[in-house]
Amino acid sequence: MDALSDFIIPIVGLKLGDHPYQFQVDGKFFEEFDNTELEDGALDVDLVLTKRPNLMELVFRVKGQIESLCDRCGGSLKLPLQHEEMRIVKFSQEDFNNTDEILVLGNDDYEIDVSHMIYETIALGLPSRRSHDESLNGQSCDQDVLDKLSEYQEKEEREDVDDRWSALKKLLTNKE
């Protein structure tokens, strides 16, 4: 849990207006979240917290590199990432349900943990298709793995055909 203690901002006594914060995210940060698609990375996070009378706007800008897995060969893949998200934090005495967009704090909450918001910003910035690509990210797939995969696929298809033949043969012999 210590890895995330840097991401707690004291909000008591914060004046109205903009407050900038900077964070660094590394492998230790990702260890705290259970997601195999996001295991490592190095990113700078700029946060501007704007305090208004009854709410706070938090704009997160993340920039850096993350390590994920390639969709094609399963190998480690480094991807540049740049993304921006805004979250709104409201204060209320009543019990509110937190939603994805709005986090509700009690009036006596004196700090806010932004680690999950940062993690979400990074996750939302991930491209949906992730693979080694010479022209896009200058990385190429592990050819050995690709060869083995296609070998395996061909073998599966052959066996599939063999299976169908033997089933058909069985059907035909049973008829006789």
Residues that bind Zn ion (CB under 5 A): 70, 72-73, 75, 132, 141
Q: How far is the CB of 34 from Zn ion (least distance, A)?
A: 24
In the complex, minimum distance from the CB of residue 39 to Zn ion, in angstroms, rounded to a whole number: 16
Of 15 and 129, which CB lies nearer to Zn ion in the complex structure? 129
Distance (Å, whole) CA 126 – CA 144: 27
Classify burial at 18, counting beta carbons within 10 Å of its beta carbon; exposed 0-12, middle 13-18, buried 19 or more. exposed
Minimum distance, C-beta of residue 146 to Zn ion, in the bound complex (Å) = 8
Contact 117, 87 (CB under 8 A): yes
Compute the least distance from the CB of residue 61 to Zn ion, in Å: 29
- Collapse the DSSP code of 32 into the 3-class scheme (helix H, G, I; strand E, B; otherwise coil) and give the result: coil
Torsion-angle region of residue 44: left (phi > 0), alpha (psi -120 to 50) or beta? beta
Torsional sign, CA 30, 32, 33, 39: positive
* CB closer to Zn ion out of 151 and 160: 151
Whose Cβ is closer to Zn ion: residue 70's or residue 79's?
A: 70
Q: How far is the CB of 29 from Zn ion (least distance, A)?
A: 25
Could you tell me if 27 and 94 are in contact, meaning their C-beta atoms sit under 8 angstroms apart? Answer: no
Name, in order, each residue with C-beta under 8 angstroms of 120's C-beta and a sequence gap of 6 or more: 85
Residue 117 or 141 having the CB closest to Zn ion: 141
Q: Looking at beta carbons only, is 104 or 146 nearer to Zn ion?
A: 146
